[in-house]
Chains A and B, each alone.
Chain A
Amino acid sequence: MSWQWFHRLGSPRWFYQTSTRWLPLLALIAAAILISGLVWGLAIAPADAKQGNSFRIIYIHVPASFLALAGYYIMAIAGAVGLIWKMKLSYMVMKSAAPIGAALTFIALVTGAIWGKPTWGTYWVWDARITSMLILLFLYLGVMALQYAYHSIDAASKAGAILALVGTVNIPIIYKSVDWWYTLHQPATIKFTSAPSMHIDMFLPLLVMIVGFYLFYAVALILHTRSEILRRERKTAWVRELIEPEAR
Protein backbone atom coordinates (compact mmCIF):
# COMPACT_ATOMS: atom_id res chain seq x y z
CA MET A 1 0.00 0.00 0.00
CA SER A 2 2.63 2.47 1.04
CA TRP A 3 4.69 1.62 -2.06
CA GLN A 4 1.81 2.76 -4.16
CA TRP A 5 1.92 6.11 -2.46
CA PHE A 6 5.68 6.21 -2.87
CA HIS A 7 5.52 5.53 -6.57
CA ARG A 8 2.73 8.02 -7.03
CA LEU A 9 4.95 10.49 -5.28
CA GLY A 10 7.48 9.81 -7.99
CA SER A 11 5.21 10.85 -10.78
CA PRO A 12 6.11 14.29 -12.09
CA ARG A 13 2.54 14.89 -13.16
CA TRP A 14 1.18 14.13 -9.72
CA PHE A 15 3.74 16.46 -8.18
CA TYR A 16 2.88 19.24 -10.58
CA GLN A 17 -0.84 18.96 -10.06
CA THR A 18 -0.65 18.67 -6.31
CA SER A 19 1.72 21.58 -6.00
CA THR A 20 -0.53 23.72 -8.18
CA ARG A 21 -3.20 23.29 -5.53
CA TRP A 22 -1.08 23.79 -2.43
CA LEU A 23 1.63 26.19 -3.50
CA PRO A 24 -0.33 29.47 -3.20
CA LEU A 25 -1.25 28.69 0.40
CA LEU A 26 2.29 27.65 1.27
CA ALA A 27 3.70 30.78 -0.33
CA LEU A 28 1.25 32.93 1.59
CA ILE A 29 2.22 31.37 4.90
CA ALA A 30 5.91 31.66 4.08
CA ALA A 31 5.54 35.31 3.16
CA ALA A 32 3.57 36.07 6.30
CA ILE A 33 6.14 34.44 8.56
CA LEU A 34 9.06 36.03 6.77
CA ILE A 35 7.58 39.50 6.86
CA SER A 36 6.62 39.28 10.49
CA GLY A 37 10.02 37.88 11.36
CA LEU A 38 11.79 40.62 9.45
CA VAL A 39 9.77 43.39 11.04
CA TRP A 40 10.22 41.88 14.46
CA GLY A 41 13.94 41.37 14.04
CA LEU A 42 14.87 44.46 12.13
CA ALA A 43 12.64 46.97 13.86
CA ILE A 44 11.21 45.72 17.12
CA ALA A 45 13.89 43.63 18.78
CA PRO A 46 16.23 45.56 21.04
CA ALA A 47 19.62 46.71 19.80
CA ASP A 48 22.70 44.79 20.87
CA ALA A 49 24.76 46.25 23.70
CA LYS A 50 28.07 45.99 21.88
CA GLN A 51 27.22 45.95 18.23
CA GLY A 52 24.31 48.34 18.10
CA ASN A 53 22.04 47.82 15.17
CA SER A 54 24.49 46.09 12.87
CA PHE A 55 23.89 42.74 14.54
CA ARG A 56 20.45 42.68 13.00
CA ILE A 57 21.84 41.17 9.88
CA ILE A 58 21.96 37.83 11.68
CA TYR A 59 18.25 37.62 11.02
CA ILE A 60 19.16 36.96 7.44
CA HIS A 61 22.63 35.54 7.82
CA VAL A 62 21.88 32.74 10.27
CA PRO A 63 18.78 31.32 8.55
CA ALA A 64 20.56 31.51 5.21
CA SER A 65 23.48 29.53 6.62
CA PHE A 66 21.18 26.89 8.07
CA LEU A 67 19.34 26.49 4.81
CA ALA A 68 22.55 26.46 2.80
CA LEU A 69 23.75 23.40 4.66
CA ALA A 70 20.33 21.77 4.95
CA GLY A 71 19.78 22.41 1.26
CA TYR A 72 22.91 20.47 0.37
CA TYR A 73 21.68 17.46 2.32
CA ILE A 74 18.28 17.74 0.70
CA MET A 75 19.97 17.80 -2.69
CA ALA A 76 22.11 14.79 -1.82
CA ILE A 77 19.16 12.82 -0.48
CA ALA A 78 17.21 13.58 -3.63
CA GLY A 79 20.16 12.30 -5.61
CA ALA A 80 20.39 9.16 -3.53
CA VAL A 81 16.68 8.45 -3.94
CA GLY A 82 17.08 8.92 -7.67
CA LEU A 83 20.02 6.52 -7.84
CA ILE A 84 18.43 3.85 -5.69
CA TRP A 85 14.87 3.95 -6.96
CA LYS A 86 15.62 5.42 -10.39
CA MET A 87 13.01 8.07 -9.79
CA LYS A 88 13.18 10.87 -12.33
CA LEU A 89 11.28 13.34 -10.17
CA SER A 90 13.91 12.93 -7.50
CA TYR A 91 16.60 13.88 -9.99
CA MET A 92 14.57 16.94 -10.95
CA VAL A 93 14.36 17.99 -7.31
CA MET A 94 18.10 17.49 -6.97
CA LYS A 95 18.80 19.64 -10.00
CA SER A 96 16.48 22.34 -8.73
CA ALA A 97 17.90 22.33 -5.22
CA ALA A 98 21.42 23.14 -6.37
CA PRO A 99 21.05 26.75 -7.53
CA ILE A 100 18.77 27.61 -4.60
CA GLY A 101 21.28 26.25 -2.14
CA ALA A 102 24.13 28.00 -3.91
CA ALA A 103 22.27 31.31 -3.82
CA LEU A 104 21.56 30.92 -0.10
CA THR A 105 25.20 30.11 0.53
CA PHE A 106 26.19 33.21 -1.33
CA ILE A 107 23.73 35.29 0.69
CA ALA A 108 25.16 33.83 3.87
CA LEU A 109 28.68 34.74 2.81
CA VAL A 110 27.76 38.27 1.74
CA THR A 111 25.70 39.00 4.85
CA GLY A 112 28.53 37.56 6.91
CA ALA A 113 30.93 39.96 5.25
CA ILE A 114 28.58 42.89 5.76
CA TRP A 115 28.33 41.94 9.40
CA GLY A 116 32.06 41.61 9.69
CA LYS A 117 32.94 45.12 8.61
CA PRO A 118 31.43 47.10 11.46
CA THR A 119 32.01 44.35 13.99
CA TRP A 120 35.64 43.35 13.40
CA GLY A 121 36.72 45.99 10.95
CA THR A 122 37.18 43.60 8.06
CA TYR A 123 34.96 42.13 5.39
CA TRP A 124 36.55 38.73 5.32
CA VAL A 125 37.87 36.49 8.06
CA TRP A 126 39.21 33.02 7.43
CA ASP A 127 37.44 31.52 10.37
CA ALA A 128 36.09 27.99 10.38
CA ARG A 129 32.49 28.74 9.69
CA ILE A 130 32.97 31.25 6.91
CA THR A 131 35.63 29.15 5.22
CA SER A 132 33.43 26.06 5.40
CA MET A 133 30.59 28.06 3.93
CA LEU A 134 32.83 29.12 1.06
CA ILE A 135 33.80 25.50 0.42
CA LEU A 136 30.11 24.59 0.52
CA LEU A 137 29.53 27.15 -2.22
CA PHE A 138 32.25 25.47 -4.30
CA LEU A 139 30.60 22.10 -3.75
CA TYR A 140 27.28 23.47 -4.94
CA LEU A 141 28.88 25.05 -7.99
CA GLY A 142 30.58 21.76 -8.76
CA VAL A 143 27.30 19.84 -8.73
CA MET A 144 25.68 22.46 -10.93
CA ALA A 145 28.58 22.62 -13.36
CA LEU A 146 28.78 18.85 -13.68
CA GLN A 147 25.12 18.55 -14.55
CA TYR A 148 25.26 21.33 -17.10
CA ALA A 149 28.30 19.82 -18.77
CA TYR A 150 26.50 16.67 -19.83
CA HIS A 151 24.27 16.62 -22.87
CA SER A 152 22.45 13.50 -21.78
CA ILE A 153 20.01 14.18 -18.97
CA ASP A 154 20.32 10.67 -17.56
CA ALA A 155 24.08 10.85 -17.33
CA ALA A 156 23.92 14.38 -15.92
CA SER A 157 21.51 13.33 -13.18
CA LYS A 158 23.45 10.26 -12.17
CA ALA A 159 26.81 11.98 -12.21
CA GLY A 160 25.37 14.89 -10.22
CA ALA A 161 23.90 12.49 -7.69
CA ILE A 162 27.22 10.70 -7.21
CA LEU A 163 29.05 13.99 -6.80
CA ALA A 164 26.46 15.27 -4.32
CA LEU A 165 26.87 12.10 -2.25
CA VAL A 166 30.66 12.32 -2.36
CA GLY A 167 30.32 15.90 -1.15
CA THR A 168 27.99 14.84 1.64
CA VAL A 169 30.55 12.42 2.99
CA ASN A 170 33.15 15.13 2.79
CA ILE A 171 31.25 18.01 4.40
CA PRO A 172 31.78 16.89 8.02
CA ILE A 173 35.41 16.07 7.24
CA ILE A 174 35.96 19.44 5.62
CA TYR A 175 34.25 21.31 8.42
CA LYS A 176 36.23 19.52 11.11
CA SER A 177 39.48 20.03 9.24
CA VAL A 178 38.87 23.73 8.73
CA ASP A 179 37.78 24.13 12.33
CA TRP A 180 40.93 22.45 13.54
CA TRP A 181 43.05 24.46 11.13
CA TYR A 182 41.56 27.70 12.33
CA THR A 183 42.12 26.98 16.00
CA LEU A 184 45.66 25.94 15.12
CA HIS A 185 46.45 29.35 13.71
CA GLN A 186 44.33 31.17 16.31
CA PRO A 187 44.54 34.86 15.43
CA ALA A 188 42.67 37.48 17.47
CA THR A 189 39.73 35.70 19.02
CA ILE A 190 36.74 36.42 16.91
CA LYS A 191 33.73 34.46 17.87
CA PHE A 192 30.32 34.52 16.37
CA THR A 193 27.56 35.37 18.74
CA SER A 194 26.51 31.90 19.69
CA ALA A 195 22.78 31.57 19.75
CA PRO A 196 22.18 30.26 23.28
CA SER A 197 23.81 33.25 24.87
CA MET A 198 21.47 35.59 23.03
CA HIS A 199 18.82 37.40 24.89
CA ILE A 200 15.40 35.86 24.40
CA ASP A 201 14.08 39.05 22.83
CA MET A 202 16.62 38.69 20.08
CA PHE A 203 16.38 34.95 19.82
CA LEU A 204 12.66 34.60 19.17
CA PRO A 205 12.58 36.63 15.97
CA LEU A 206 15.57 34.58 14.84
CA LEU A 207 13.55 31.40 15.28
CA VAL A 208 10.73 32.91 13.33
CA MET A 209 13.10 33.84 10.53
CA ILE A 210 14.55 30.36 10.46
CA VAL A 211 11.10 28.84 10.09
CA GLY A 212 10.26 31.43 7.48
CA PHE A 213 13.41 30.63 5.53
CA TYR A 214 12.65 26.91 5.57
CA LEU A 215 9.22 27.63 4.17
CA PHE A 216 10.70 29.98 1.62
CA TYR A 217 13.15 27.27 0.60
CA ALA A 218 10.27 24.84 0.16
CA VAL A 219 8.39 27.31 -2.02
CA ALA A 220 11.45 28.06 -4.11
CA LEU A 221 12.25 24.38 -4.51
CA ILE A 222 8.72 23.52 -5.55
CA LEU A 223 8.62 26.37 -8.06
CA HIS A 224 11.95 25.42 -9.53
CA THR A 225 11.03 21.75 -9.70
CA ARG A 226 7.78 22.60 -11.43
CA SER A 227 9.56 24.41 -14.20
CA GLU A 228 12.07 21.57 -14.48
CA ILE A 229 9.15 19.15 -14.81
CA LEU A 230 7.60 21.23 -17.55
CA ARG A 231 10.88 21.39 -19.40
CA ARG A 232 11.64 17.71 -19.18
CA GLU A 233 8.18 16.40 -19.79
CA ARG A 234 7.39 18.87 -22.51
CA LYS A 235 6.70 16.15 -25.02
CA THR A 236 4.05 14.40 -22.94
CA ALA A 237 0.36 14.92 -23.51
CA TRP A 238 -0.48 16.48 -20.18
CA VAL A 239 2.20 19.15 -20.53
CA ARG A 240 1.16 19.95 -24.06
CA GLU A 241 -2.38 20.28 -22.76
CA LEU A 242 -1.20 22.77 -20.19
CA ILE A 243 0.75 24.84 -22.65
CA GLU A 244 -1.62 24.85 -25.60
CA PRO A 245 -5.08 23.86 -24.50
CA GLU A 246 -6.61 25.35 -27.65
CA ALA A 247 -4.64 23.12 -29.96
CA ARG A 248 -6.30 19.94 -28.63
Chain B
Amino acid sequence: MPPKKIHRARELPLSQSPLLKVENLAFERDDSAVLENINLSLNRGEVLQIEGANGSGKTTLLRLLTTALQPSTGSILYKGEASSKCRYQYLSDMLYIGHQPAVKLTLTAEENLRWMINSAVKTNSLTIADALDGVGLSGYSDIPCYALSAGQHRRVALARLLISEAALWYLDEPFTAIDKQGVSFLEARLQERLNRGGAVVLTSHQDLTLNNLRKYSLSAPAGQAA
Protein backbone atom coordinates (compact mmCIF):
# COMPACT_ATOMS: atom_id res chain seq x y z
CA MET B 1 0.00 0.00 0.00
CA PRO B 2 1.50 3.33 -0.92
CA PRO B 3 1.81 5.63 2.08
CA LYS B 4 -1.07 8.03 2.52
CA LYS B 5 -0.26 11.35 0.96
CA ILE B 6 -0.01 14.07 3.55
CA HIS B 7 -1.56 17.27 2.37
CA ARG B 8 0.17 20.43 3.45
CA ALA B 9 -0.04 23.97 2.29
CA ARG B 10 2.41 23.58 -0.50
CA GLU B 11 4.96 26.05 -1.76
CA LEU B 12 4.25 26.48 -5.44
CA PRO B 13 7.24 25.60 -7.58
CA LEU B 14 9.26 28.29 -9.22
CA SER B 15 7.86 28.32 -12.68
CA GLN B 16 8.36 30.18 -15.84
CA SER B 17 4.95 31.80 -15.64
CA PRO B 18 4.85 35.38 -14.49
CA LEU B 19 4.29 36.06 -10.81
CA LEU B 20 0.96 37.66 -11.57
CA LYS B 21 -1.10 37.45 -14.68
CA VAL B 22 -4.47 38.98 -15.25
CA GLU B 23 -6.55 37.78 -18.18
CA ASN B 24 -9.62 39.50 -19.56
CA LEU B 25 -10.68 40.82 -16.23
CA ALA B 26 -13.93 42.70 -16.14
CA PHE B 27 -15.96 44.09 -13.31
CA GLU B 28 -19.41 45.49 -13.49
CA ARG B 29 -21.50 47.05 -10.81
CA ASP B 30 -25.21 47.73 -11.11
CA ASP B 31 -25.30 46.89 -14.79
CA SER B 32 -22.57 49.29 -15.77
CA ALA B 33 -19.05 48.22 -16.57
CA VAL B 34 -16.45 49.63 -14.21
CA LEU B 35 -13.53 47.74 -15.72
CA GLU B 36 -13.29 45.91 -19.00
CA ASN B 37 -10.66 43.88 -20.82
CA ILE B 38 -7.94 44.17 -18.25
CA ASN B 39 -4.90 42.20 -19.31
CA LEU B 40 -1.59 42.52 -17.59
CA SER B 41 1.28 40.48 -16.30
CA LEU B 42 3.93 41.10 -13.75
CA ASN B 43 7.26 39.41 -13.21
CA ARG B 44 9.57 39.50 -10.26
CA GLY B 45 11.43 42.77 -10.04
CA GLU B 46 8.81 44.71 -11.95
CA VAL B 47 6.63 47.50 -10.78
CA LEU B 48 3.30 48.35 -12.38
CA GLN B 49 1.90 51.81 -11.91
CA ILE B 50 -1.79 52.03 -12.59
CA GLU B 51 -2.85 55.41 -13.78
CA GLY B 52 -6.15 56.91 -14.65
CA ALA B 53 -8.49 59.72 -13.86
CA ASN B 54 -10.44 59.69 -10.63
CA GLY B 55 -13.22 57.18 -10.88
CA SER B 56 -11.60 55.16 -13.63
CA GLY B 57 -11.45 52.14 -11.40
CA LYS B 58 -7.89 52.11 -10.05
CA THR B 59 -8.90 51.17 -6.55
CA THR B 60 -11.40 48.66 -7.89
CA LEU B 61 -8.68 46.99 -9.92
CA LEU B 62 -6.43 46.72 -6.91
CA ARG B 63 -9.22 45.30 -4.82
CA LEU B 64 -9.93 42.76 -7.54
CA LEU B 65 -6.28 41.76 -7.41
CA THR B 66 -6.51 41.24 -3.66
CA THR B 67 -9.62 39.06 -4.13
CA ALA B 68 -11.64 41.36 -1.89
CA LEU B 69 -13.86 41.82 -4.93
CA GLN B 70 -14.96 39.14 -7.33
CA PRO B 71 -14.60 39.88 -11.05
CA SER B 72 -17.53 39.44 -13.38
CA THR B 73 -15.34 37.66 -15.89
CA GLY B 74 -11.69 36.87 -16.33
CA SER B 75 -9.10 35.37 -14.09
CA ILE B 76 -6.15 36.21 -11.93
CA LEU B 77 -3.24 33.82 -12.10
CA TYR B 78 -0.62 33.59 -9.42
CA LYS B 79 2.48 31.75 -10.59
CA GLY B 80 0.38 30.25 -13.31
CA GLU B 81 -2.42 28.98 -11.11
CA ALA B 82 -5.85 30.51 -10.74
CA SER B 83 -6.04 32.53 -7.56
CA SER B 84 -9.20 30.74 -6.50
CA LYS B 85 -7.31 27.44 -6.51
CA CYS B 86 -4.30 28.59 -4.53
CA ARG B 87 -5.97 31.10 -2.28
CA TYR B 88 -3.85 30.54 0.78
CA GLN B 89 -0.55 30.74 -1.09
CA TYR B 90 -1.60 33.79 -3.02
CA LEU B 91 -2.96 35.72 -0.06
CA SER B 92 -0.05 34.91 2.19
CA ASP B 93 2.34 36.14 -0.48
CA MET B 94 0.56 39.44 -0.80
CA LEU B 95 0.62 42.68 1.13
CA TYR B 96 -2.11 45.21 0.59
CA ILE B 97 -2.17 48.74 1.90
CA GLY B 98 -5.36 50.46 0.90
CA HIS B 99 -6.55 53.99 0.83
CA GLN B 100 -7.13 53.93 4.55
CA PRO B 101 -4.18 52.88 6.62
CA ALA B 102 -6.27 50.51 8.81
CA VAL B 103 -4.88 52.02 11.95
CA LYS B 104 -6.95 51.57 15.10
CA LEU B 105 -7.05 54.88 16.88
CA THR B 106 -7.22 53.51 20.39
CA LEU B 107 -4.12 51.37 19.99
CA THR B 108 -0.59 52.66 20.10
CA ALA B 109 1.62 52.71 17.04
CA GLU B 110 3.48 49.74 18.37
CA GLU B 111 0.33 47.72 19.04
CA ASN B 112 -1.10 48.57 15.65
CA LEU B 113 2.03 47.40 13.92
CA ARG B 114 2.26 44.29 16.02
CA TRP B 115 -1.31 43.50 15.14
CA MET B 116 -0.67 44.04 11.42
CA ILE B 117 2.38 41.82 11.49
CA ASN B 118 0.53 39.19 13.47
CA SER B 119 -1.79 38.54 10.57
CA ALA B 120 0.97 38.40 8.00
CA VAL B 121 2.43 35.08 7.06
CA LYS B 122 5.69 36.04 5.41
CA THR B 123 7.74 38.32 7.57
CA ASN B 124 11.38 38.91 8.30
CA SER B 125 12.89 39.13 11.72
CA LEU B 126 12.99 42.88 12.06
CA THR B 127 11.59 43.96 15.38
CA ILE B 128 8.64 46.25 15.66
CA ALA B 129 10.70 48.87 17.43
CA ASP B 130 13.21 48.87 14.59
CA ALA B 131 10.48 49.05 12.02
CA LEU B 132 8.99 52.08 13.72
CA ASP B 133 12.45 53.59 13.86
CA GLY B 134 12.75 52.99 10.17
CA VAL B 135 9.70 55.08 9.39
CA GLY B 136 10.72 57.84 11.76
CA LEU B 137 8.29 57.08 14.56
CA SER B 138 10.81 55.97 17.13
CA GLY B 139 9.57 58.18 19.94
CA TYR B 140 5.94 57.49 19.23
CA SER B 141 5.58 53.79 19.82
CA ASP B 142 3.66 54.17 23.05
CA ILE B 143 1.36 56.93 21.95
CA PRO B 144 -2.23 56.02 21.03
CA CYS B 145 -2.89 56.74 17.42
CA TYR B 146 -5.66 59.20 18.00
CA ALA B 147 -2.90 61.57 19.03
CA LEU B 148 -1.03 61.13 15.77
CA SER B 149 -1.58 62.88 12.47
CA ALA B 150 -2.81 61.33 9.25
CA GLY B 151 0.71 61.34 7.92
CA GLN B 152 1.92 59.47 10.97
CA HIS B 153 -0.88 56.93 10.57
CA ARG B 154 0.28 56.31 7.07
CA ARG B 155 3.81 55.82 8.33
CA VAL B 156 2.61 53.18 10.76
CA ALA B 157 1.00 51.37 7.85
CA LEU B 158 4.14 51.77 5.75
CA ALA B 159 6.21 50.25 8.53
CA ARG B 160 4.68 46.98 7.44
CA LEU B 161 6.77 47.24 4.32
CA LEU B 162 9.91 46.95 6.37
CA ILE B 163 8.84 43.69 7.93
CA SER B 164 6.98 42.07 5.07
CA GLU B 165 8.57 39.38 2.95
CA ALA B 166 5.54 38.99 0.71
CA ALA B 167 6.42 38.90 -2.95
CA LEU B 168 3.51 40.97 -4.14
CA TRP B 169 2.87 44.43 -2.80
CA TYR B 170 -0.39 46.11 -3.72
CA LEU B 171 -0.43 49.73 -2.69
CA ASP B 172 -3.29 52.15 -3.23
CA GLU B 173 -2.08 55.75 -3.34
CA PRO B 174 0.80 55.05 -0.97
CA PHE B 175 2.23 58.53 -1.30
CA THR B 176 -0.81 60.23 0.17
CA ALA B 177 -0.15 62.43 3.18
CA ILE B 178 3.60 61.85 3.34
CA ASP B 179 6.28 64.42 2.85
CA LYS B 180 9.29 64.51 0.52
CA GLN B 181 11.43 62.56 2.93
CA GLY B 182 8.72 59.96 3.17
CA VAL B 183 8.47 59.74 -0.60
CA SER B 184 12.16 58.97 -1.00
CA PHE B 185 12.00 56.50 1.87
CA LEU B 186 9.12 54.71 0.24
CA GLU B 187 10.77 54.65 -3.15
CA ALA B 188 13.89 53.19 -1.58
CA ARG B 189 11.81 50.51 0.14
CA LEU B 190 10.05 49.65 -3.10
CA GLN B 191 13.29 49.44 -5.03
CA GLU B 192 14.79 47.20 -2.38
CA ARG B 193 11.80 44.83 -2.56
CA LEU B 194 12.05 44.75 -6.32
CA ASN B 195 15.74 44.01 -6.20
CA ARG B 196 15.10 41.06 -3.95
CA GLY B 197 12.59 39.46 -6.26
CA GLY B 198 9.32 41.07 -5.32
CA ALA B 199 6.82 42.85 -7.48
CA VAL B 200 4.73 45.92 -6.85
CA VAL B 201 1.41 47.12 -8.19
CA LEU B 202 0.49 50.59 -7.13
CA THR B 203 -1.86 53.37 -8.03
CA SER B 204 -0.44 56.82 -7.93
CA HIS B 205 -0.20 60.10 -9.79
CA GLN B 206 3.35 60.50 -8.59
CA ASP B 207 6.28 60.38 -10.98
CA LEU B 208 8.41 57.55 -9.72
CA THR B 209 12.07 56.87 -10.19
CA LEU B 210 12.13 53.09 -10.05
CA ASN B 211 13.72 50.53 -12.33
CA ASN B 212 11.50 48.31 -14.44
CA LEU B 213 8.57 50.63 -14.10
CA ARG B 214 5.66 50.05 -16.40
CA LYS B 215 2.56 52.14 -16.55
CA TYR B 216 -0.92 50.84 -17.09
CA SER B 217 -3.55 53.34 -17.99
CA LEU B 218 -7.19 52.93 -17.18
CA SER B 219 -9.67 54.83 -19.21
CA ALA B 220 -13.34 54.97 -18.38
CA PRO B 221 -15.15 52.11 -20.14
CA ALA B 222 -16.81 53.23 -23.35
CA GLY B 223 -20.53 53.94 -23.17
CA GLN B 224 -23.23 51.90 -21.50
CA ALA B 225 -24.17 48.33 -22.26
CA ALA B 226 -26.85 48.33 -24.93
In the complex, B224 has a CB within 8 A of chain A: yes
Residues of A within 8 A of B29 (CB): 152, 154
Q: Verify A236–B30 contact, CB threshold 8 A.
A: no
* Alpha-carbon distance between A232 and B31 when the two chains are bound, in angstroms: 9
Number of A-B contacts (CB under 8 A): 14
What is the number of residues of chain A that contact chain B, defined by CB distance less than 8 Å?
Answer: 8
Question: Within residues 174 to 232 of chain A, which ones have a CB less than 8 A from any CB in chain B?
Answer: 232
The CA of A75 and the CA of B31, in the complex, are separated in Å by: 22
The answer to whether B225 has its CB under 8 Å from any CB of chain A is yes
- Residue A153 lies at the interface, judged by CB distance under 8 Å to chain B: yes
CB-nearest residue of chain B to A236: B226
Q: How far is the CB of B33 from chain A (nearest CB, A)?
A: 12
CA distance A237 to B224 in the complex (A): 11
- CB contact list, A123-163 vs B, under 8 A: 152-154
Q: Is the CB of B30 within 8 A of A154?
A: yes
Collect the chain B residues with CB atoms within 8 Å of residue A154's CB: 29-30
- Does A21 make an interface contact (CB < 8 A)? no
Whether A237 contacts B30 by the Cβ 8 Å rule is no
Q: Which residues of B contact A237 (CB under 8 A)?
A: 226
What residues of B have a CB within 8 angstroms of the CB of A153 in the complex? 30-31
A87 to chain B minimum Cβ distance, whole angstroms, is 13
Contacting residues, chain A, for B224 (C-beta < 8 A):
235
Beta-carbon nearest neighbor of A88 in chain B: B31
Encode B204-226 as 1/0 by CB contact (under 8 A) with A: 00000000000000000000111
Are A152 and B30 in contact, with the CB atoms below 8 A?
yes
Chain A residues, CB < 8 A from B31: 153, 232-233, 235
CB contacts (< 8 Å) of A152 on chain B: these are 29-30
Smallest CB gap from B28: residue in A:
A154
> Which chain B residues lie closer than 8 Å to A233 at the CB level?
31
Which residue on A lies nearest to B224, using beta carbons? A235
Question: B19 to chain A: closest CB distance in Å?
Answer: 29
Complex Cα distance, B30 from A232, in Å, reads 9
List residues of chain A with CB within 8 A of the CB of B226. 236-237
Q: B26 → chain A, closest Cβ, in Å? A: 13
Residue of B nearest to A238 (CB): B226
**Residue numbers in B under 8 Å from A232 (CB-CB):** 31
Contact code string B131-168 (vs A, CB < 8 Å = 1, else 0): 00000000000000000000000000000000000000
A-side contacts of B225, CB under 8 Å:
235-236
User: In whole angstroms, how far apart are the Cα atoms of A233 and B30 in the complex?
Assistant: 11
Roughly how many angstroms separate A236 CA and B224 CA in the complex, as a whole number? 9
CB distance from A159 to the nearest CB of B (A): 14
Interface string of B23-45 (1 = CB under 8 A from A): 00000011100000000000000
Find the A residue at minimum CB distance from B30. Answer: A153
A117 to B225, CA, bound (A): 57
B residues lining the A interface (CB < 8 Å): 29-31, 224-226
Instruction: State the 10 A-B residue pairs at the shortest beta-carbon distance, nearest first.
Output: A153-B30, A237-B226, A152-B30, A235-B224, A154-B30, A154-B29, A236-B226, A152-B29, A232-B31, A153-B31
Q: A153-B30, A154-B29, A236-B226 are in contact. List 4 more A-B contacts (CB 8 A).
A: A152-B29, A232-B31, A235-B31, A235-B225
